[in-house]
Amino acid sequence: MIEHTTTFTLTSAILAAMTVGFLVWTRRLAVNSRRYGYAVVGACAAMCVAYLLMAAELLTVTTTGREESIARFLGYSIAWGTVCYILGAVSGADRRYTLAAFGAILTSLWATMASWILGGRAGTLVSLVIAAGVIALAGVLYGPLAPGEKRTGSERTLLYTRLKKLTVLVFVGLLVTGILSEQNLAFTDAFVGQTLATYLDIVWLAGFGGLVLESTAALSDTAPAAGMNSPPTAGDIVPDSDGDGNANVDVPETVHAAE
C-alpha cells in the first residue's frame, strides 16, 4: 500500500504545477480581472503548502484513529475563503452574505476536525454542527447571496451558478468523506479516506480555477472600470492638428459669450 506521505508529496507536486499554470493563465487576463485570477492562484498555492506540511508530518494532533495534521484544515480555510470572495464579487450581494457563507464553511470544517479528536458520542453530536453548517451554506448560496437580475448580467449569473453547484457538491463530498473516516464512523480506512479527500481536492481546485479563468466576460463585468482613479498616460493624449500635443477641448458657447 502506498504510504500516505508519498500521496501527500505527489499531490503537493500536482497542485504546484496547477498553481503555476493558473498564474500563467491569470497573466493573460485583462488587468482589472487579474485579482480574481490571483485569488485562484492563492487557493491552489495554499493547498499545495498544506499538503507539503502534511507530507512532512507537521502540525499534527492526536485523533481517535491516528495522528493527523491540521495543515489540511488551515489550507481549506484559506482556499475556501477565496472561493467565497469570488462568489461574493460575482454575485454583487452585500458583503455580510459573503461572510455568512464563509462562516458556515469554517464551522463545518473545524467541526469535522473536532469530531476526529473527540470521537464517540461527542463526535457524533459534533456531526450535527457539521450538518447545520452545510444547511446554512446552502441557504446563503441559494438565497441572499444569489445574484439578482438588476445587479448582474447573464455571464455573471452563469458563472455564479456553476461555482455554486461546484461548491456544494465538493464541500458536501469532503464532509461526508470526513464523517465516514476511521476517526469518526470508521466506514473507511486511512488509505481510502485520504485518497478520496485528495481526489476531491484536485477536482475542486481544477474545476474552480478553470471555471473562473475561462469566464473572461463575467470577470470583466465584475471588475471595476479601468482607469477611474489613475492619471492618463501618454498614449491617452491625442494631439491636435497643430501637433503641439494638447488635446482639443470643446469650450461651451456660454464661455465664448462671456468673453
What CATH number did the domain enclosing 140 receive? 1.20.1070.10
247, part of any domain: no
What angle is formed at CA 7 by the lines to CA 3 and CA 10, rounded to 5 degrees? 135
The DSSP output letter for 241 is: T
Is 242 among the domain residues? no
pLDDT average per 10 residues of sequence, the chain (259 residues): 81 96 95 94 96 90 75 94 95 92 94 79 80 92 82 83 92 77 63 80 94 93 55 42 46 45
Closest-CA residue to 200 (of 11, 21, 3): 11
Does residue 22 fall inside a structural domain? yes
What pLDDT is stored for residue 25 in this prediction?
Answer: 96
pLDDT of residue 9: 93
pLDDT, position 235: 41
Tell whether 91 is covered by a domain.
yes
Asked if residue 248 is part of any domain, the answer here is no
The model's pTM is 0.79
Number of residues that make up the chain:
259
Find the domain containing 196 and state its range.
4-222
Residues in contact with 186: Cβ distance below 8 Å, sequence separation at least 6, in sequence order: 65
215: CB partners within 8 A, 6+ apart? 155, 158, 159
Q: Is 214 within a domain?
A: yes
Q: Which three cell numbers stand for residue 246?
A: 494638447
61 backbone dihedrals φ, ψ, rounded to 5°: -135, 155
- Predicted local confidence at residue 77, as pLDDT: 95
Q: 93 near 136, Cβ under 8 Å?
A: no
What confidence score (pLDDT) does residue 251 get? 45
For residue 218, is it within any domain?
Answer: yes
Domain-located, residue 166: yes
Number of domains in the chain: 1
Backbone dihedral region of 179: left (phi > 0), alpha (psi from -120 to 50 degrees) or beta?
Answer: alpha
The CA distance from 10 to 5, in Å, is 9
| CA atoms of 159 and 102, how far apart (whole Å) | 19
Looking at residue 112, what is its pLDDT? 83
